[in-house]
């Protein structure tokens, strides 16, 4: 078993390698002067079970190309099996035709990864379940719910908790955590006028005097979360915290969260934290390295991955 780390999230790759007590494979992933990607693997990978770790976060196109070129280099180096470990699957929000003459980019990227040489994919909290069907190779989709549940149990008083989905589309995800906690569920109903802009309509469920915990998979502009938090406070919530797997946090998102009623936003390290995120007063990261490492070990041993969530 060998681990190859691309450049998008080396801290996570090194944490996974440390958990597995394995070295990171020696490799050069660099740019020519025109920014063309070049990859050279400095160890023998013939007949090896190789895991390539790369989140396709910002800059998404560069990181996708790094992953594709690395997969091709390993395939041509005669690796026995290549698993693309993609903690954050970029382009995952483009999972359907949203209008006439628009792409399904999540499917396009799946095709590229397959053609480049991946034999299987390991990812975390896909934005939409149907993306699993875009791949013609095995895909294991992990869930952050167990990690979030442990963190919530450590921080909050169970008797007054209320798990909240910030929109209708996230109900399944929020219900999963509410079920693990044995708690209640509420939903924020919103109407999205334009991409990245949301307008809260009303709250479904009784939130008065409850500790509300918003659950989402991606926080990008943070408009949805912040608007939902304000609505919950207007409906009488005693406090609002939020958990999101992938902290994209683009543009003014960090300052938006800082100026919102959200007491604490917990994200994972599927995407490396920027300096602004590290300095934010109410944003914290928890590591998914043990979860990813355990899944990788089970894949290598041909053991069950789904039993991680039993």
CATH 3.40.50.2020 applies to domain 145-287: yes
pLDDT in tens, 159-213: 789 999 998 888 999 999 999 999 899 999 876 666 655 566 789 999 999 999 9
Angle at 135 between CA 74 and CA 60, to 5 degrees: 65
Would residue 208 show up in a list of annotated catalytic residues for this protein? no
CA 219/CA 163 separation, integer angstroms: 17
pTM > 0.85: yes
In the sheet where 139-142 sits, what is the strand order? 2-5, 49-53, 81-86, 120-124, 139-142
CA 52/CA 155 separation, integer angstroms: 34
User: Can the peptide bond before residue 242 be classed as cis, meaning omega within 30 degrees of 0?
Assistant: no
Q: Of 2, 97, 190, 208, which is the active-site residue? A: 190
CB 71 within 8 A of CB 103: no
CB 38 within 8 A of CB 44: no
- Beta-ladder partners of 3: 24, 51
* Two domains, one topology: 2-142+290-309 and 145-287: yes
Q: State the CATH class of domain 2-142+290-309.
A: alpha beta
pLDDT in tens, 62-98: 999 999 999 999 999 999 999 999 999 999 999 999 8
For the chain, domain boundaries: 2-142+290-309, 145-287
Cβ neighbours for 134, distance < 8 A, ≥ 6 positions apart: 95, 104, 106, 107, 110, 111
């Amino acid at each position: 078993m060998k681990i190859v780390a691309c450049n998008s999230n080396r801290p996570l790759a090194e944490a996974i390698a440390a958990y597995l007590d394995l070295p990171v494979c020696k490799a050069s992933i660099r740019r020519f002067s025109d920014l063309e990607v070049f990859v050279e693997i400095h160890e023998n990978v013939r007949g090896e079970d190789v895991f390539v770790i790369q989140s396709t976060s910002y800059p998404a196109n560069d990181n996708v190309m790094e992953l594709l070129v690395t997969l091709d280099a390993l395939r041509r180096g005669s690796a026995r099996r290549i698993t693309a470990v993609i903690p954050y699957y970029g382009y995952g929000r483009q999972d359907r035709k949203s209008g006439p003459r628009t792409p399904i980019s999540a499917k396009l990227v799946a095709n590229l990864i397959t053609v480049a040489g991946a034999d299987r994919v390991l990812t975390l909290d896909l934005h939409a379940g149907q993306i699993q069907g875009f791949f013609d190779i095995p895909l294991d989709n992990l869930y952050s719910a167990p990690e979030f549940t442990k963190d919530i149990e450590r921080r909050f008083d169970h008797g007054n908790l209320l798990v909240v989905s910030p929109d209708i589309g996230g109900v399944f995800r929020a219900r999963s955590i509410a079920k693990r906690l044995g708690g209640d569920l509420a939903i924020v109903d919103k109407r999205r006028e334009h991409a990245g802009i949301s307008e809260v309509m009303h709250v479904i469920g009784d939130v008065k005097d409850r500790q509300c915990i918003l659950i989402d998979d991606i926080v990008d502009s943070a408009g949805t979360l912040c608007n939902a938090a304000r609505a919950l406070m207007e409906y009488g919530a005693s406090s609002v915290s939020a958990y999101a797997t992938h902290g994209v946090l683009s543009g003014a998102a960090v300052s938006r969260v800082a100026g919102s009623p959200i007491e604490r936003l917990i994200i994972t390290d599927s995407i490396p934290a920027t300096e602004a995120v590290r300095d934010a007063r109410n944003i914290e990261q928890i590591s998914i390295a043990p979860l990813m490492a355990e899944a990788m070990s089970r894949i290598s041993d041909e053991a069950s991955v789904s039993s991680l969530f039993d």
